[in-house]
Every structure is written in structure tokens, then in C-alpha cells.
């Protein structure tokens, strides 16, 4: 059994979660890609068969539809010749063909629903496969880099390797603080001439609106 055993497993899979649990991400992602490619071939093959089945069903429906209409015509012809017995027999055959046509139409709807599901599966699998392939090179490089760094640190610091990795968070926090200082500097720097003029214009507009509002209220008070 491969990494994935069913289409639904692939569709619902979380590649990140699988890779996070993997001891050898490079190997796991290669297995994922191989399983996806194999499954995609199977789904496409099944879809081709379903398309062929749909075309065959369309031909059957057209044949039965044509036969039904022909027997309708035969019934009408028999009546024009005063052969009610033949007309009745033709209508009976037409009735059987109508029932057969309804059954074929039901099968056609089922085939179309299955084809729609297969088409959606193909699209989903293609998207998952593209995502996995996009990650493959990056994952391999990250894994190789991490392995090399671990070996180097192991040879240099021995048991301190674990402590070094634990200090990564501290380094990251320090970087956050440094970036925060830069942001604070940007916020505290003097406004440019254009910014100061823009502030004056905005303040002038607000003052004008305030004066207009006061005048409006005063005029309203006088009328009352």
C-alpha cells in the first residue's frame, strides 16, 4: 500500500501535516508524488471509459428515440388505413420504447453525474500534484541544508546542538525587537512639507465645515 490508498485520501490529505511527521521528508514527498501520479493515471483512464460509455448511451438513446417516433408514425398510418388493430399494436411497441427511453435517460443522468465527479477528482489531483512537485525541490534543499548544519554543529558543539536550536526563538525575538525599533523611527520622523500642507488643508476643510454648521444652526434658531 502506498502513501495514499484512495482518491479521497489524496483529496482530503494535508501534505504539510504528513511532511511535519516525516523523518525523511525527501523520501516521503517522492512517495507522495509517485502515488498521486499513479492515482491520476487511474482516474484519467476511468474518466476516458466513462466518456466512451456516455457516447454509447447517447447513441442508444437516439436509436430508441428514432424507433419510438417511427412506431408513432406507423400507428398514425394504420389509422388512416382504418387498421385500428395495427395502430394499437404499434402504440404498444411505442409504449415499450418510451419506457426503455426513460430508463436510458436515467442511466445517462447517472453517467453524467459520475463523469462530473471524476472530472472534479482529476482537477483536484492535478492541483495536489502540482503543489507537491513545487514543494519537492524546496523540501529537498531544506532537508539537505538542515542535515548539513546539524552535522557541523554536532561536530563543533556536541551536546550543545539542542541548546543552539532552542536559541533560535530568542534570535527571532531579537530580530522582532530590532525591526520594531526601525518601525518606531519611521513613525517618529518629522513630517515632510507635503504631509504638513496636507494636514493644513484637511484642518482648513474641517474648520470650514464647522463654521457652515454653526451658521446653519444659528439660522434655524432665528426662524424658530
List average pLDDT for each run of 10 residues in the chain, which is 224 residues long: 52 59 68 83 89 95 96 94 93 95 95 91 86 75 64 55 60 69 58 70 80 80 73
Nearest to 147 by CA among 163, 161, 159: 161
- Cell triple for residue 65? 428515440
How high is the pLDDT of residue 2? Answer: 46
Classify the C-alpha dihedral 126-130-136-139 as positive or negative.
Answer: negative
Q: What is the DSSP string of the chain?
A: --S--SHHHHHT--HHHHHHH-S-HHHHHHHHHHHHHHHHHHHHHHHHHHHHHHHHHHHHHHHHHHHHHHHHHHHHHHHHTT-HHHHHHHHHHHHHHHHHHHHHHHHHHHHHHHHHHHHHHHHHHHHHHHHHHHHHHHHHHHHHHHHHHHHHHHHHHTTHHHHHHHTHHHHHHHHHHHHHHHHHHHHHSPPPHHHHHHHHHHHHHHHHHHHHHHHHHHHHHHH-
Longest dimension (CA), the chain: 109
How high is the pLDDT of residue 48? Answer: 92
- Tell me how far apart the alpha carbons of residues 36 and 29 are, in angstroms, rounded to a whole number: 10
How high is the pLDDT of residue 124? Answer: 85
- Cell triple for residue 152? 557541523
CB 39 within 8 A of CB 10: yes
Q: What is the pLDDT of residues 130-173, one digit of tens each?
A: 888 887 777 666 666 666 666 655 555 555 545 655 665 676 67
- Tell me how far apart the alpha carbons of residues 180 and 158 are, in angstroms, rounded to a whole number: 35
- Cell triple for residue 222? 432665528
- Tell me how far apart the alpha carbons of residues 7 and 215 are, in angstroms, rounded to a whole number: 73
CB 89 within 8 A of CB 56: no
Helix axis angle, 84-157 to 25-80, nearest 10°? 170
Burial per residue of 170-184, b for 16 or more beta-carbon CB atoms within 10 angstroms, e otherwise: eeeeeeeeeeeeeee
How high is the pLDDT of residue 1? Answer: 44
Amino acid at each position: 500500500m502506498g502513501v495514499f490508498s484512495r482518491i479521497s485520501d489524496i483529496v482530503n490529505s494535508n501534505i504539510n501535516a504528513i511532511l511535519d511527521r516525516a523523518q525523511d521528508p525527501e523520501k516521503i514527498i517522492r512517495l507522495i508524488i509517485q502515488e498521486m501520479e499513479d492515482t491520476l493515471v487511474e482516474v484519467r483512464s476511468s474518466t476516458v471509459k466513462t466518456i466512451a460509455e456516455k457516447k454509447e448511451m447517447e447513441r442508444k438513446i437516439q436509436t430508441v428515440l428514432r424507433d419510438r417516433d417511427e412506431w408513432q408514425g406507423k400507428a398514425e398510418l394504420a389509422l388512416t388505413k382504418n387498421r385500428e388493430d395495427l395502430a394499437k399494436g404499434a402504440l404498444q411497441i411505442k409504449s415499450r420504447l418510451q419506457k426503455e427511453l426513460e430508463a436510458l435517460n436515467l442511466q445517462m443522468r447517472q453517467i453524467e453525474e459520475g463523469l462530473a465527479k471524476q472530472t472534479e477528482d482529476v482537477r483536484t489531483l492535478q492541483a495536489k500534484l502540482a503543489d507537491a512537485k513545487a514543494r519537492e525541490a524546496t523540501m529537498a534543499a531544506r532537508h539537505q541544508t538542515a542535515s548539513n548544519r546539524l552535522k557541523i554543529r554536532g561536530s563543533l558543539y556536541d551536546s550543545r546542538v539542542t541548546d543552539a536550536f532552542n536559541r533560535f526563538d530568542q534570535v527571532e525575538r531579537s530580530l522582532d525587537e530590532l525591526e520594531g525599533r526601525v518601525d518606531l523611527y519611521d513613525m517618529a520622523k518629522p513630517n515632510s512639507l507635503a504631509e504638513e500642507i496636507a494636514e493644513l488643508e484637511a484642518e482648513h476643510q474641517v474648520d470650514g465645515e464647522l463654521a457652515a454648521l454653526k451658521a446653519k444652526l444659528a439660522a434655524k434658531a432665528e426662524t424658530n
